[in-house]
Amino acid sequence: MPFAQSINHSQALKMIQQALAEKRLDVEHIPVVNAMGRVAAADVLAPIDVPTMACSRMDGYAINTALFRRGDRVVANSEQSGTWRLSLGAAVHAQRQTAPVLCGEQAIPIMTGGVLPEDADAIILKEQVELTEEGIRFDQLPSRGSHIRPRGSDLKAGQRVLKANTPIQAGMVGVLSSLGLAEVAVYAAPKVALMVTGDELVQPGADCGPGEIYDANAPMLQNLLQTMGCQVAVLSPLGDTEEAVRQRLSEMADAACDLIISVGGVSMGDKDLIPEMLAELGTVLFHKVRVKPGFPLLFGRLGGGLFFGLPGNPVSCYTTLCQYIWPAIRLLNQQNMAVAQWRAVLTHEVKKSHLRREFMRAHFDMGHDGLLQVSVCGDQQSSRIESLAQANCFLVLNESDQDLSEGSSVLIQPFAAWRMV
């Protein structure tokens, strides 16, 4: 079956979007306390008012200002005009209230969060009164409603507090908990199978002989995918033989995975067997994208999952995961594919001699003028994994961009954008 080859960046994203048009994640209910980083599967409406009863915002004294007013006119309550005295009633704390409380002609000591006495309409702050043997003395009459949280002033019953398809942040965990909600409906975390290929790979901690290298890609990509909200199963390294590749892909065709990711074996070498095996056992939708790094990227279907074949060089696989698998993860969670992009100023000249889109590892910070400034992290060879550790963003150069001078305005993608919250 023919498939697209050497397509541009936008075409690749469009084909990924089309492939995911009918794919949906299951919905599950999980404890709210575990919901951070998950994506809401349904709107959440407030079941109650917050606060459920009027209460105090501060430590102070609840009073009924009607004692001191006739209509809108303030009436003095002592021999010295503008000075007031009140005796004290029993204190109200932030706890379950067993009986209604009234101020009457007293001031009621009240703590932050305490339920407001039924006839109180203002709180005098502790620091605004003088304690006397008879009660309190104060010189400034508070306005009605001072330092009071009315019922429903934060949230009202029936109000939408969480929109479907929205990532849940720590603050939202607090909101849902404040409503008494113990569970929330979220999309199931995408199930991802991750496998690296190569006879030369050795696991960190083992002895590494001549011609062998330690596998940096699997640990790096596993952590990146987990940050993106995925359940990741790291498979054993895959040998560079036709028999091994066919057996592994046959097994993965029957696996219950949303995404299957291979690393290495997708270029033009004698042992780059993944494209041929995917065409035989699944479907290839495109192979090779005109970007740098990451040109050999492979995309298709295998069984019930989408298959991404990433290049083996560390920078290439990291970059293509961010640029193509992250949008797929967002689509699975019913979100748009957009990646956050900011404007920054180049601190030095950058040369580009090709017509492909390029994602350069770079580091941004804030300049003295308050503008973001960005510098490229040295040599941009796709095997130089150190550049990823130095970087905190991609500098994005579009196809038409050529040599850029110091001070040019450029687009950057902060690495912090590739997480679910």
Fold of the 55-149 domain:
Molybdopterin biosynthesis moeA protein; domain 3 (2.170.190)
pLDDT at 170: 96
pLDDT digits (tens, 9 = 90+) for 2-46: 899 999 999 999 999 999 998 999 999 999 999 999 999 999 999
What's domain 342-414's superfamily in CATH? MoeA, C-terminal, domain IV (2.40.340.10)
The CATH architecture of the domain made up of 36-48+156-187 is Alpha-Beta Complex (3.90)
pLDDT at 70: 61
CB 331 within 8 A of CB 165: no
pLDDT at 225: 97
Q: Is the dihedral of CA 346, 350, 354, 360 positive or negative?
A: negative
Each domain of the chain, given as residue ranges in start order, spans 4-26+188-332, 36-48+156-187, 55-149, 342-414
With a cut of 50, list the residues of the chain below it in pLDDT: 76, 78-80
Phi-psi region of 304 (alpha: psi -120 to 50; beta: other; left: phi over 0): alpha
Question: If one looks up domain 4-26+188-332 in CATH, what number appears?
Answer: 3.40.980.10
pLDDT at 211: 84
pLDDT at 189: 96
How far the first Cα of the chain sits from its last, in Å, is 40
Q: What is the 3-state secondary structure (H, E, C) of 360-399?
A: EEEEEEECCCCCEEEEECCCCCCCCCHHHHHCCEEEEECC
Distances (CA, A) of 273 to 3, 288, 315, 382: 17, 15, 21, 21
CA distance 296 to 371: 36
CA distance 357 to 400: 8
The pTM (predicted TM-score) of the whole model is 0.88
Which strand (E) or helix (H) includes residue 262? strand 259-263
pLDDT at 79: 43
What are the two backbone dihedrals, phi and then psi, of residue 405, each rounded to the nearest 5 degrees?
A: -90, 160
pLDDT at 81: 58
